[in-house]
Structure 1
Amino acid sequence: MNDQSPPSGTPSADFVAVSLTNGIATITLDRPEVRNAINDQMRAELIAAFEWADADPEVRGVILTGAGKGFCSGGDIGGMRDRLEAPAGKVAFNGWQRQKRTHRGIAVIHGMSKPVISAVNGAAFGLGLDMALAGDFIIAASGAKLCMSFIKRGLVSDGGGMYFLPRRVGLPKAKELILTGRVVEAEEALGLGLVDRLAEPDALQAAAQAWAEELSHGAPAAIALTKSILDRTFESSDDEIFALGREAQAICYTTAEHRESVEDFLKKSGK
């Protein structure tokens, strides 16, 4: 467990640790004894941590990482065992309810109004890789392993991987990675576009912190509106994006950050 005191206002948690440095919240999956496998309690704590980070004005960006040697090994084996032991007549509905919780956990990451960097410090398998893909950017430690391992359990990627992965690596490569379930080393992942940057393991957190600070310097409203539009780009027409852009720009015109920036520019230019 991480013994660092969390920032004030963060929800209490046993399996998720939160820290705040220079406006960047680091949310750490904290079950290292099981390579940070996700159970129901961790999922609920993760959702609460991201909701806090999105709402707190002191937070300008988020790093998602894992405690110990791994990022996240996927779903907890206990949940799989419970599924096998459930009465046949309840398996499907229980699964539907579990999937709703899973998708809520992915949605709070993907829907953050602030930049999110997944700092993959070790193995990211199955749902763990899906969760990493839900962030805006991925920086991986050299030597980290990534795997869409669902097929090995007779399952489909259920945490957004079938949505996020083709957008990163293209449809044919996404199909290959999902259908084979093969392990991808960090160096290959960088070449595929599966991750965006690499760092040495002992420099990963510092590199993610510096990158998150760089990404979060802009006006919060402009960052949030830009993210919300860019995330719809592939599903929208140019006219739809133009319309969203007009609406977003009209909002930005009213912000204090825009007014102060323009006033400073006019003073410096003498106009």
Structure 2
Amino acid sequence: MKIPGARCAIAFLFALWAWSAQAAPQRIVSLLPSLTESVCALGQCSRLVGVDRYSNWPASVQKLPRVGGGIDPNIEAIVALKPDLVLMAESSRAAERLQALGLKVLMLEPKTHEQVQVVIAKVGQALGLPPAKAEQVWKEVDAGVSAAASSLPEHARGIRVYFEVNRAPYAAGESSFIGQTLKRLGAGNVVPAELGPFPKLNPEFVVRANPDLIMVGQRNVQGMTERPGWQRLRAVREQRICIFNSDDEDAIVRPGPRMADGARLLAQCILKHSSAAPTSPGGAL
């Protein structure tokens, strides 16, 4: 009868996992909103002791100390919080300085759906959580995106979209997580994958592409339609522009656990304007 031995093995593994959980970081500073949201989606908001100035979801993190931004973090403020883990973007230039001060740093910056799944798993691993927890979070995100896609009728598919993420203008290309969501919703993207996830465009590019629908956040819409040639755009002429408020824009442009919310908002925009979209492919004016 080997049951007692099996029970001992199970008890040992449980004790080992419990020890790992205790040894996992308990004081976390996050310098990227999507990473802040990932920590909270994993049920570990209570471990956060400081966040960047842009982290605002869930509401509880708004009470935490602010330590600057990902580009300009307040090093002294971070050190004063005595974190045992700092989460930050790979593009941040502050990592070496923080590491030189003895802080543990984990750099993550997802740009695609696949990378978001990996990042959630890595954050969960860093926090000492069982892999199943991160897997469950991702399954819920993925299912939410699929549900948003299923909510759209066939006539809403094929609409050609331009999504502006910054007034430079930077756009969400086909290869970005936003572009991947649009594809799953059955929408076309006027910014091809070969230009990169979030390319900076010449405004004339958009004039030539002539999208059926424009999506933009309220923070970036000012002056958009005043660009040379943009008054001739089909989307502008027919007032097919979705302007997202700041809260909705955050859900859409952050590659993290709220991507399902972002997909739902994109789907609502597409459905609202799909009846007026042409059935044939768009093109130059």
* Shorter-chain TM-score tier: under 0.3
Q: TM-score, normalised by structure 1?
A: 0.27
Q: TM-score, normalised by structure 2?
A: 0.26
Whose helix fraction is larger, Structure 1's or Structure 2's?
A: 1
